[in-house]
Amino acid sequence: MKKTLLIAAVALLVFPLAACEQKPETVTDQAPDPQAEALAKAPKVVLPPSIKATVTFRCKDNSLAMVDFFSGNMQVNLRGQRDDAPIKLTAEKAGDPFVADGYSLTGTPDAITLAQPGKPSQTCKK
The pLDDT value recorded for residue 4 is: 72
The pLDDT value recorded for residue 6 is: 65
Q: Residue 8 pLDDT > 80, yes or no?
A: no
Residues 6+ apart with CB under 8 A from 100: 87, 88, 89, 90
Q: Find the length of the chain.
A: 126
Q: Which helix (DSSP H) or strand (DSSP E) does residue 13 occupy?
A: helix 2-18
Is the model more confident about 1 or about 122? 122
What is the chain's percent helix, strand, coil content, to nearest 5? 20, 35, 50
- pTM of the predicted model as reported, rounded to 2 decimal places: 0.65
Q: Residue 9 pLDDT > 70, yes or no?
A: no
Q: What is the pLDDT of residues 10-34, one digit of tens each?
A: 666 666 655 566 778 777 778 888 8
